[in-house]
Amino acid sequence: MKRRLAALTMAGVLAVSMLAGCGGSSADGSKDGKTEVQESKSEAVGDTKATEGSGEDTDGTGSDSGEAQVVKWYVFGDKMPDHDMVMEDLNKKIKEKINVELDLQVIPQGEFADKMKLASTAGEDFDLVFTSNWLNSFDENMSREAFMPIDELFEKYGQGIKESMPDWLLDIGKVDGKLYAVPNQQIIARQLGVLIQKEYADKYGFNKKSIKDISELEPFLDEIAKNEPTMFPVDVRANAYIENKYEDLVSVAHYACAYIDKNDPDAKLIPATTAMEDQLRLDNEWYKKGYIRKDIATVTDNTADVKANRYVCSLGSYKPGIDAEFSSRQGVPYIAVPIEGTYIKSISGIETMTAVNVNSKNPEAAMKLLNLVYTDKEIFNELLFGLEGTHYEKTGENSAEPVEESKYNYSAYGWKMGNQFNEWYLPGQEEGLWEATDKLNREAQVSVLRGFTFNPANVQAEIAQIAAVDKEYYNGQYTAADIDKYIAERNEKLEQAGLNKVIEELQTQLDTWKNQSK
């Protein structure tokens, strides 16, 4: 499936959504750019590397094939004091299984992107590396030919990974039909939901297990607004009307330039000036009803109020188990109410991937190791939790609890390094959580534009101007005395900034992509 290579100069201008799971966040992002000579270079490098290495253990099962190959793997985070102790024990098991040793390099997040760029441009010999649309940019790395095409390696040594994931997921790691990165498995589908403090749900009789439309929440919000003067009814972290109906394209700051109706098989483009109107009116209506805090226009950081549980509801991304996770973090019980409808965006999954460095001297060993970590629960969980009795205690067949003041705990890193669905459950997580998340991913509606990404190279100036307008008008819809006037002014400014030119460029690229995909 053809994809276009995003321009590097857009870094910092084109913001992208992160449901995360990570935490997510939430951000979306996404390629032509490659010349015929560059493409030939990539193919030559990939073909050469795929045949390098010892040439032994071709079935990937491990054997007594001599000295183990060392695979250097870069991830971001905080290195634990007992890191070397765990690696020593873990590598005994990895070597026995596939005759490979892991050299896990953990780099602070603030240094990671620069460190990886320097290592790549200097031709450093490392093997595996975390990449995404928000850290160590996949697009930027592809423009520098920093990653190796791994189709043959994946077919030979990555079958365990392939069998464990939905068919559509691998698409996001492909450029011009070649695979360059393996997406990690975690929460990928996007679903809206509402977290509600259980105390107030019980008090006012809110007992719905799910809702079809955000309007079903309004009677409850009315009760909070009228009867709980010291509380804020809702913390809005997602645009419920927009997200339930549309998929955003060309994200800019807080919104997007264009949208498509999720249920439109022709993916007809809808300008932001049209798509956003109903959302802006809803925001204004909620403010006037008292659902939104009165100082919304001036508040830039509500962290203290969130920690103090001053919000009765939080509107954002839903995932299985988020109620227990949020309750544990907040210190008071919350219930989670999903809003019906799960969706896989065109670029969902790009938020967490692992690639093979084009300068890797051990690409076969790297793919064997990635496949092992992705599929072997024993290896994966020792990598995350450390040594039993020293760093954690088992609390069940598939659950564990870190030892207090443990000097090794990467259990929060599961989504960074493989298949999070193999991770042991932590206290507060319900058995079956990962199965439920996997089911949610597999049953979600998949975008008709799956595999398409936008190259902003021809409209960078316009996108920067649109971002400035977005910033100028951000949150103004809540307090606008005349919402019609506000919308008209905002729309005029967006059009003056070049919105229509961006949409024309987007349509051109979409038409090309559709023709190539036939």
| Average pLDDT value for residue range 103-116 | 96
3-state secondary structure 135-182: CCEHHHHHHCCCECCCHHHHHHHCHHHHHHCCCCHHHHHEECCEECEE
Tokens representing 327? 């309750």
Tell me the pTM: 0.81
Over residues 327-375, the pLDDT tens digits come to 978 999 999 999 999 999 999 999 999 999 999 999 999 999 999 999 9
Over residues 461-507, the pLDDT tens digits come to 999 999 999 999 999 999 999 999 999 999 999 999 999 999 999 99
Over residues 369-410, the pLDDT tens digits come to 999 999 999 999 999 999 999 999 999 999 999 998 899 999
Burial track 12-40 (b if 16+ CB lie within 10 A, e otherwise): ebbbbbbbbbbebbbbbbbbebbeeeeee
- What pLDDT score does 485 carry? 98
> What are the CA-CA distances from residue 18 to residues 6, 30, 95, 416 (Å)?
18, 12, 36, 14
- What pLDDT score does 23 carry? 36
Burial class (CB in 10 A: 0-12, 13-18, 19+), 471: exposed
334 close to 313: Cβ distance less than 8 angstroms: no
| Average pLDDT value for residue range 33-42 | 32
Over residues 43-96, the pLDDT tens digits come to 333 333 333 333 334 344 444 457 999 999 999 999 999 999 999 999 999 999
| Cα 477 to Cα 490: distance, rounded to the nearest angstrom | 10
Tokens representing 27? 């951000």
pLDDT exceeds cutoff 50 at 21: no
pLDDT exceeds cutoff 60 at 26: no
- What pLDDT score does 216 carry? 96
Listed in order, strand segments (DSSP E) in 270-359 are: 270-271, 311-317, 334-338, 343-344, 353-356
The neighbouring-strand residues paired with 514 are none
- What pLDDT score does 24 carry? 37
CA 307 to chain centre: 24
Name the percent of the chain lying above pLDDT 70: 87
Going along the chain from its start, the domains and CATH numbers come out as 8-187+350-426 (3.40.190.10), 191-341+448-518 (3.40.190.10)
68: helix, coil or strand? Answer: coil
Name the percent of the chain lying above pLDDT 90: 78
